[in-house]
């Protein structure tokens, strides 16, 4: 039988890695590979913007159902043509904007919004969110959402 201190330590270890839905967040290289393969296919012009959006929406539903720690795609974004980057950003914004807007309207918590957008922000180096207004409240909300997003980084 476990002693009280061992049981407490085990409980704390488990609690540290649990997200808001009660799931333990672990890296998942196979899911990262699927995401990164899709992104790279678009960046290499072998996937259309419409198909990218379809695939990323499917990925987003799966991520929301079973979140995990998202790994770095190791993409050198600085070497990509600007028009490709903008096209990619438009697709990602189409997917993430509704959740971010709902968060700033108070319709979603930071945790709920992060669950909907985290993988898309975590594939970009130096990601960020522009608050909808320059108010201290909007800045605080932005920082809260970014802190929740970081919880999904591997």
For 20-71, the pLDDT digits (tens) are 555 689 999 999 999 999 999 999 999 999 999 999 999 999 999 999 999 9
Residue 154 contacts residue 69 (beta carbons within 8 Å): yes
Number of structural domains in the chain: 1
Q: Is residue 61 part of a domain?
A: yes
Q: Look at residue 5 in the predicted model and tell me its pLDDT.
A: 35
The beta strand positions in 1-154, using DSSP E, are: none
Q: How confident is the model at residue 4 (pLDDT cuts 50, 70, 90)?
A: very low
Q: Look at residue 17 in the predicted model and tell me its pLDDT.
A: 42
Q: Is residue 20 part of a domain?
A: no
Q: Look at residue 21 in the predicted model and tell me its pLDDT.
A: 53
Q: Is residue 54 part of a domain?
A: yes
Buried b or exposed e, range 72-105, using 16+ CB within 10 angstroms: ebeeeeeeeeeeeeebbeebbeebbeebbeebbe
Q: Is residue 56 part of a domain?
A: yes
* pLDDT over 50 at 12, yes or no: no
Which sign does the torsion angle of CA 87, 32, 109, 126 carry? negative
Q: What is the mean pLDDT of the chain?
A: 87
Q: Is residue 67 part of a domain?
A: yes
Q: What is the pTM of this model?
A: 0.82
Mean pLDDT value across residues 124-148: 91
pLDDT in tens, 17-26: 444 555 689 9
Q: Is residue 50 part of a domain?
A: yes
Q: Is residue 7 part of a domain?
A: no
SS3 call for 153: strand
Give the range of the structural domain holding residue 126, as residue numbers without chain letter. 26-150
Q: Is residue 11 part of a domain?
A: no
The beta strand positions in 33-130, using DSSP E, are: none
Task: Quickly count: other Cβ atoms within 10 Å of residue 113's Cβ.
Answer: 25
Residue 60 contacts residue 98 (beta carbons within 8 Å): no
Residue 26 contacts residue 153 (beta carbons within 8 Å): no
């Amino acid at each position: 039988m476990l002693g009280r201190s061992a049981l407490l330590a085990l409980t704390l270890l488990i609690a540290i890695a649990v997200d808001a839905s009660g799931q333990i967040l672990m890296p998942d290289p196979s899911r990262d590979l699927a995401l990164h393969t899709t992104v790279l296919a678009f960046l290499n012009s072998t996937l259309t913007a419409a198909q990218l959006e379809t695939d990323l929406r499917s990925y987003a539903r799966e991520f929301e159902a079973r979140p995990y720690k998202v790994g770095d795609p190791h993409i050198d974004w600085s070497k990509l043509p600007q028009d490709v980057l903008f096209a990619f950003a438009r697709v990602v914004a189409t997917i993430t904007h509704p959740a971010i807007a709902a968060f700033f309207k108070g319709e979603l918590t930071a945790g709920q919004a992060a669950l909907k957008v985290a993988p898309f922000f975590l594939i970009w180096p130096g990601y960020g969110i522009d608050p909808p207004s320059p108010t201290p409240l909007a800045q605080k909300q932005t920082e809260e959402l970014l802190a929740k997003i970081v919880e999904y980084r591997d």
